[in-house]
Amino acid sequence: MVKVLVPLAQGVEELEAVTIIDLLRRAGIEVVAAGLKDGPIRASRGLMILADCSLDEALRQEYDMVVLPGGAAGSDALNADDRIHELLKKMADSQRFMAAICAAPKVLAAAGVLNGRACTAYPGVLEALPQQNFVLSEANVVTDGKVVTSRGPGTAMDFALRLIAHLVGADKRNEVEAQLKR
C-alpha cells in the first residue's frame, strides 16, 4: 500500500491539511498525520487537529511521499525543524515524491529540493527568499519530477487530486473526484 506522511505544526492551514489527508485517504492511500510536538495542533484559524502520532514515531517508517501543508506559522515551524530537512533530503536522495502547498514550498527551497525546478507557492512567499534557484510559476499546481507544489487553500483540492494521480493513477484520481460531486 502507498504510504504518505503529512507533518503538522502549530499554525498549519487547516483547509490544506484536512483536504490533503481526507482526499488521499478516500483514494485508499495510507496517510500518517504526524505532529511536530505532542498534543493537539492549533491550526491557523483556531481549529484543533489531533495527529495520528508524533513526528519522531512517524519517522520510524518509510514513505512514498511527504506532503507539507502550508500556513505561515506552520510553514515556519516546519522550516525550523531539522528532522523535516533531513527527511526531505532523504526523500530526494531516494527519488521519492515531495509536495508542498501555500507557504510550505519555502521549506523545500531551504532544503535544496527546489534547485533548478519549476514550482509555485502562495504569492510572495518564494519571491521573498534571498536565493532563488528555481523557476517560479503562477500555475495552481506544478509538478517537476518528483516535486509537486501548489498555491494555497483555494488550490488544495486540485493539489490533492494531483497527488492521488501521481501515487495511484489517473483512474483513482477521477474516481475520487467523481465521488465528491455526487
- 3-state secondary structure at position 126: coil
Residues 39-58: b if buried by 16+ CB within 10 A, e if exposed = eebbbbeeeebebeeebeeb
β-strands 141-144, 53-54 pairing: unpaired
Distance (Å, whole) CA 113 – CA 175: 31
Catalytic option among 58, 98, 102, 109: 102
Nearest residue to 69 via CA among 56, 89, 51: 51
β-strands 118-119, 41-42 pairing: unpaired
Q: How far is CA 89 from CA 42, 51, 72, 97, 165, in A?
A: 27, 23, 22, 11, 23
Question: Is 102 a catalytic site residue?
Answer: yes
Q: Active-site residues: which are they?
A: 102
